[in-house]
Structure 1
Amino acid sequence: MRQSVLVTAATGAAVLALTACGDGGEGAVAEESTAAAEAGAASRAVLRDPEGAEVGTVQFAEVAAGTEVRAEVQGLEPGFYGLHVHGVGLCEADSAAPGNPGTTGDFLSAGGHLGSDSGGHPDHTGDLTSLYVTEGGMGFLTTVTDRFAVEDLVADDDGSAVMLHAGPDNFGNVPERYAPGGPDETTLATGDAGSRLACGVVE
């Protein structure tokens, strides 16, 4: 099973600090990651809320270990937020879910998680590390995933979108004492991350 790997908490200075830790090890990976991001991401999404206000950006760049994802948000309440890549590059407020016009809601036009048709959460291609927002309303995340390439996000006919959810993602980790039969269908589909707070088309 391929997994997302957290490289560092999110400032360029923190990443550069890792380069002093050794030769050719984790520091080298972090140094390359920073260089790739500073050179300009191959793809980018602007996150907007249902009213159209910008709340942040997400950038994607190819690195040796996979695809680096760099997210930055502002003006949000403190706490953890679920972050995923969704399978349709369409961010429309009060929209219908693809294939289910009777179900409407904010950003349902973006469909489910990328790769949700081939497994359960947290093993979807588009499942990412959760984003933490500080007391000051700022959130930063740098992570690397080997589940998709940058090209995968823009090459298909309907594109892709980045979704910021209103609540934390439990990654399907529901203890047996709460769910003797295992996580239910909703948990396996979404990680119980709640409503769709902001969305951005990957371009």
Structure 2
Amino acid sequence: MRRELVGAVIGMTGLVLAGCGDDGGGGAVVEETTAAAESGVGSRAVLNDAEGTEVGTVRFAEVSAGTEVVAEVQGLEPGFYGLHVHTTGLCEPDSSAPGEPGTTGAFLSAGGHLGGEDAEHPEHAGDLPALLVTEDGLGFLTTVTDRFSVQDLVADDDGSAVMIHSDPDNYANVPERYAADGPDEDTLGTGDAGSRLACGVVE
């Protein structure tokens, strides 16, 4: 039976097949391209850890379905990491949370999740899919969200930031068999994603 392969292109993200190309082993070469990677319009955040080491970038571009987010990281331990957009464009390694001068820690200056005042995790505007890092320490994520625009990230007075957390994000998915009263405050706030590992101001 003949099977046809149907490709769906969402927004401006697509796969480009190099015609008659060869990878040295006789196979075709596939190159991944995205709107955020190619467009000159958009925003970018450079991610640094608390020691000031650059660990990656996150780029934002407007597409027909919303905002395309492209994250690329390197040098991290393998596994899943929480990835969020935070309310304040200030990534200070040792800092206080806005409105909480008595609490200090890495990148607390970036505030909470974007759009979190009237919502609980994972319904914050800044809640994004988990970032998977391979055994080689590399991670690549492309997603599209309609919860914020590029303008939302840069238009307010204090800007915004992208945060990588040290642990996986459970999206406040805690079954009743584990917690009869449902997720606690920490889970509803961050999805138990742990400490703030790397931060980048959206510019």
**TM-score bracket, shorter-length normalisation:** 0.7 to 0.9
Paired AA for residue 171 in structure 1: Y
Residue aligning to 2:176: 176
Q: Distance in 2 between matches of 1:194 and 1:46?
A: 21
Residue aligning to 1:31: 14
Choose 137-146 or 28-37, whichever is displaced more. 28-37
Instruction: For residue 38 of structure 1, report the CA deviation from its aligned partner.
Output: 1.1
**Contact 1:48–1:55 (CA<8 Å) still a contact in 2?**
yes
Going from structure 1 to structure 2, the CA distance change for 1:194 and 1:28 (only over 3 Å counts) comes to closer
Determine helix, strand or coil for the equivalent of 1:118: coil
Determine helix, strand or coil for the equivalent of 2:9: helix
Q: CA RMSD in A?
A: 1.5
The number of residue pairs the alignment matches comes to: 181
Residue aligning to 2:6: 21
Going from structure 1 to structure 2, the CA distance change for 1:174 and 1:28 (only over 3 Å counts) comes to closer
Residue aligning to 1:156: 156
Determine helix, strand or coil for the equivalent of 1:151: helix
Instruction: For residue 94 of structure 1, report the CA deviation from its aligned partner.
Output: 1.1
Q: Distance in 2 between matches of 1:111 and 1:90?
A: 8
Q: Distance in 2 between matches of 1:190 and 1:127?
A: 9
Residue aligning to 1:98: 98
Residue aligning to 2:48: 48
Higher RCO (Cα < 8 Å, 6 or more apart): 1
**Contact 1:93–1:105 (CA<8 Å) still a contact in 2?**
yes
Q: Distance in 2 between matches of 1:159 and 1:186?
A: 24
Q: TM-score, normalised by structure 2?
A: 0.86
Q: Which runs of 5+ in 2 are unaligned?
A: 16-32
Determine helix, strand or coil for the equivalent of 1:52: coil
1:58 and 2:41 are equivalent in the alignment: no
Instruction: For residue 118 of structure 1, report the CA deviation from its aligned partner.
Output: 1.3
**Contact 2:35–2:63 (CA<8 Å) still a contact in 1?**
no
Instruction: For residue 21 of structure 1, report the CA deviation from its aligned partner.
Output: 2.8
Determine helix, strand or coil for the equivalent of 1:188: helix
Determine helix, strand or coil for the equivalent of 1:140: strand
Q: Distance in 1 between matches of 2:10 and 2:82?
A: 29
